[in-house]
Amino acid sequence: MRRIIRKMKRLRIVNKKRFIFAITIFILMSTIITAAAQSFYTIDKKLYKGMEYEKKIDEIKSELNLKELSDSIHIQLLITPAPTPLLTPTPTPVPILVPQSKIVSTPVPIIKQNMNDKRKQLACKYLINYKVPEKRARDLVDWIFKYAQQKKISEELVLAIMNWETDFLNISGDGGDSMGYGQVQLNTIKDLKKWDPFLPFVRSLDDFQKDPETQIRYIVANIKYGNALFGNDYFKTVSNYNMGTGNTSSTRYNPYYVNKVTAYKNKIDQYIN
């Protein structure tokens, strides 16, 4: 029993010594590791600072080099003189004198299209005042202006004859011998067709009544025929329209008809111009 107790005491002493020894070794190793780590940290810090110093030194050197380069360029620019531009003399224009007799004034062009549009609108309104349907009024005015300008006839005169004859109505008159807006007779149609073969062929007065455009062409042709026959004599031309182709002479005419047509012509002229 005593032996056993002694052995246990010895074991405790041995274990205690071992424990103290282990602790001593652990403290020693941690001290060594801490010292080594501090030394490494100090070395790295010194190296980092050295690298920063070298970087700053390189930047300063590069700035100095650039400054030296710019200074040298500036000095060269100051020394090198700027090239003087070559001055080319500009010739003075010599005025060309034109004799006064050869100076021709250019007339200002008149835009006829705009004038025609305005006059046509007013003429269309004039027909509508006589209760002509708007579409028919536009068609009649377009045909009157088209064919009257082709034959160089006054549009106002064409409108005035139609105004006096029928008040712009497409009717028959004189017991069926006259037809249309201008009360043209079949014999007159045949005579005008011989005189102007380019006029459209008319078979009968009924066909003539159904074609207002052809009516306008024969009204204009009848006025043009009177101008050609009587040398643009207005009085005889208008009288010839009423009395028939070739029936007007110096002793045979119709002043009443001429005066009525002229009154309408003046009225229309004031309205559309």
What is the DSSP annotation of 124-149?
HHHHHTTT--HHHHHHHHHHHHHHHH
Contact 260, 164 (CB under 8 A): yes
Domain final residue pick, 20, 55, 78: 78
Domain final residue pick, 28, 54, 78: 78
92 within some domain: no
For 263, the domain range is 113-272
Q: Which helix (H) or strand (E) holds 178?
A: strand 178-179
Distances (CA, A) of 26 to 13, 14, 35, 197, 200: 20, 18, 14, 140, 136
pLDDT tens-place string over residues 211-254: 999 999 999 999 999 999 999 999 999 999 999 887 777 777 88
Identity at 77, one-letter amino acid code? L
Let me know whether 154 and 263 are in one domain. Answer: yes
Closest CA to 124 of 137, 115, 135, 136: 137
Let me know whether 50 and 124 are in one domain. Answer: no
pTM of the model: 0.59
Identity at 248, one-letter amino acid code? T
27 within some domain: yes
Domain final residue pick, 78, 100, 128: 78
Return d(Cα 268, Cα 34) in angstroms, integer. Answer: 125
- Count of CB atoms within 10 A of residue 86's CB? 5
98 within some domain: no
35 within some domain: yes
84 within some domain: no
Let me know whether 119 and 250 are in one domain. Answer: yes
85 within some domain: no
pLDDT of residue 212: 97
pLDDT tens-place string over residues 157-207: 999 999 999 999 999 999 999 999 999 999 999 999 999 999 999 999 999
- Count of CB atoms within 10 A of residue 123's CB? 24
107 within some domain: no
Tell me how many domains the chain contains.
Answer: 2
